[in-house]
A and B are shown apart, each in its own frame.
Chain A
Amino acid sequence: MPPRRVVVVSAGVSDPSSTQMLADRLTQRSLETMRAMTCTASARTVRLAPLAVEIAQATVSGLVGETLRTTIEEVGRADAIIVCTPVYKAGISGLFKSFVDLLDNDLLIAKPALLAATAGSSRHALVIDQQMRPLFGYMRALTLPTSVFAAPEDWGAAALSDRIARAATELAVTVHAGIEHGVAERAWSGYQHQFAGNAARAEQTAADIDFDSPLMRLAAGGQPTPAADDAHRVDDD
């Protein structure tokens, strides 16, 4: 099995940051679990705070800076992502959401995604399920069954480690199963894509394009769908 790559996106801004600490623990445990399954894996952590200016610029003008572009490409090539955001004002961090807003719609298709968040109060525990799951659902990421939320009291509870272990196992098993590659192999053309985008399988040249799609047929002076009459004729035969 080729070495697997995990990219960790952390939206924590302080130093030290509890969001970063949670991301680190999830990363460490995930790598250990994968290695235990004889799957070579490495991880790279991206902190969004130093990218804040580039993210804001890209949001208002569409111009993506060099560091941000490299980061997005790495996320696209990752075999799994671990995303971890602080909760602000009862919601995910605006910086985190702004980053996700900049990703091509096909960047995360069927990519295993471990969702995690930290908050100043356990009363924000549902932010992951109410905000992160719909967001990554829209992106068609493969969100793992267990998400990990940490309020201040969780840092003193063994249950947090249990949840981290569970999530890490889910991540390792999902990556090991090669689900993302399997889905992309068999169904990639069924999703909407961005030409020359950042997705690992994005169409970059004519060789990658399906010229038999309805719109491509229309572009070449033809009809968008095969004539209904022809279809019937085949059935009659």
Chain B
Amino acid sequence: MQFGIFSVSDVTRDPVTGRTPSEAERIRAVVQNARRADEVGLDVFAIGEHHNPPFFSSSPTTLLAHIAALTKRIILSTAVTLITTNDPVKIAEDYAMLQHLSGGRMDLMLGRGNTVPVYPWFGKDIRKGLELALENYNLLHRLWREDVVDWEGESRSALQGFTAIPRPLDDVPPFVWHGAIRTPEIAEQAAYYGNGYFANNILAPNLHFKPLVNLYRERFAHYGHGTPEQAIVGLGGQAFIAQRSQDAVERFRPYFEGSPIYGRSYRLEDIMHGTPMSVGSPQEVIEKTLTFQEGFGDYQRQLWVVDAMGLPPEMALEQIELLGTEVVPVLRKEMASRRAAGVPDAPTHSSLVAAKYGDAPPRQPTPNDNRGDNLTGGSPYQDSDPELEAEYPVAD
């Protein structure tokens, strides 16, 4: 079971001081959060992708590569990478590069994105958002698994004899999670490929995402990847922790009430009761998180938002500390003891390498000599299947 934090990279006014951090401050703070998460033993740090203020994370692989160089064991991920408006070819290249630089300490979560203007800004049509997501992933999946790809579709220009470089580390593609909050087709795609399915589990009532999770589990089994209970499920959440329950509520309340999302429309107590938001003592957060396992079944990854709503940087760091030292160690034990036999952990680079190669050394793709035009001739790698020769359209 992996535990970690995810951030949407919002730059939000601190409702207590009234001060809004600069982008520079916020970027530094998020890097600090990731380092602290690594230090206190959390397993995952994930960052969102946005292309408009008040967010900063337009370039997740740059940020994550930097963090990879500053950390030792934490897995770096996204929440989410936009599979609609990004070119899947560029995703294949960027994330394979991140995979190399991080030594395989990464995976990624794909989502559609719901900021309408982003689609036209990147030349896409939001009405085709779902088709884009599905078709783009179908291509991405191949780009990481086939040395040479011929492809034709609706979402981008056709590819003939295309090789995405660098090839994935050890020729093992990064593990992919598909994030969806309402779309059965995305759950189906995750199930078809045996990838992970992630429900953000915030801003919605308790167990709201259960039908989608169940659909994914059932179809995961349908496609022969294992039993429904063995499907790879991730859940989000939001946490605010203090040693004493009443302190947590008291300290968190001004941030909750100052939030543009919750604002004054809701009572904090109602949201704490009716949604997965966890505010309280370590023990209370532990108990609430255990209800997720009870409701959704055994799952593989739990991420919390801890730095939203304009929380000052030191407060976010304190939350990470409390998660790492008081909450997660107990949850690890409790969840493991409740976990049914045969439920796997989330795949990691080393588990995927072991699954692919056993004890044999992993493939290390090594290109053939530069042939000048590099477009004619045989396969691009020394050990590629010689039969695998690109076919180019012939100009008459």
Contact = CB atoms under 8 A, between A and B. Distances in A.
Given A195-B182, A195-B211, A218 B131 contact: yes
Interface string B306-345: 0000000000000000000000000000000000000000
Given A203-B184, A205-B215, A219-B134, A61 B265 contact: yes
A84 B135 CA distance: 45
A209 B185 CA distance: 10
Interface string B30-44: 000000000000000
Contacts of A224: 131, 135
B261 A61 contact: yes
B117 interface: no
A219 B263 CA distance: 38
Contact of A195 (B130, B184, B189): B184
Nearest to A207: B218
A195 to B, nearest CB: 4
Contact of B266 (A63, A203, A206): A63
Given A57-B265, A206-B218, A220-B189, A215 B138 contact: no
A219 B266 contact: no
Q: Is the interface of A mostly helix, strand, loop or mixed?
A: loop
Contact of A61 (B135, B211, B214, B266): B266
Interface in B362-394: none
Contact of B262 (A61, A195, A206): A61
B203 A63 contact: yes
Name which of B186, B193, B211 has the most chain A CB atoms within 10 A of its CB: B211
B192 interface: yes
A209 B222 CA distance: 14
Interface string A181-222: 000000000000011100000011110010100011011110
**Size bracket, chain A contacts:** 20 to 34
A64 B265 CA distance: 12
A218 B192 CA distance: 11
A56 interface: yes
A37 to B, nearest CB: 38
A63 B274 contact: yes
Interface string B213-230: 011001100100000000
Contact of B219 (A63, A64, A203, A206): A206
Nearest to A64: B205
A57 B266 contact: yes
A220 B182 CA distance: 18
Interface in A48-71: 56-57, 60-64
A218 B134 contact: yes
Contacts, number: 71
A203 B185 CA distance: 12
A62 B219 contact: no
Contacts of B355: none
B275 interface: yes
Given A57-B266, A63-B266, A204 B188 contact: no
Nearest to B208: A196
Contact of B218 (A64, A195, A205, A220): A205
Contacts of B215: 195, 205-206, 209
A48 to B, nearest CB: 18
B183 interface: yes
A216 B211 contact: no
Given A63-B274, A64-B205, A206-B218, A216 B188 contact: yes
Nearest to B228: A206
Contact of B204 (A56, A63, A221): A63
A195 B192 CA distance: 18
Contacts of B185: 215-216, 218-219
Contacts of A205: 211, 214-215, 218
B203 A61 contact: yes
Interface of B: 130-131, 134-135, 138, 141, 182-186, 188-189, 192-193, 203-205, 211-212, 214-215, 218-219, 222, 261-263, 265-266, 271, 274-275
Given A63-B274, A64-B205, A209-B184, 20 more contacts: A57-B266, A61-B266, A194-B182, A195-B183, A196-B212, A203-B184, A204-B211, A205-B214, A206-B218, A209-B215, A215-B131, A216-B184, A218-B131, A218-B135, A218-B185, A219-B134, A220-B189, A221-B138, A221-B141, A224-B135
Interface of A: 56-57, 60-64, 194-196, 203-206, 209, 211, 215-216, 218-221, 224
22 contacts: A60-B263, A60-B265, A61-B203, A61-B265, A63-B274, A194-B182, A195-B184, A195-B211, A195-B215, A196-B211, A196-B212, A203-B184, A206-B218, A209-B215, A215-B134, A216-B184, A216-B188, A218-B185, A219-B134, A219-B186, A219-B189, A219-B192
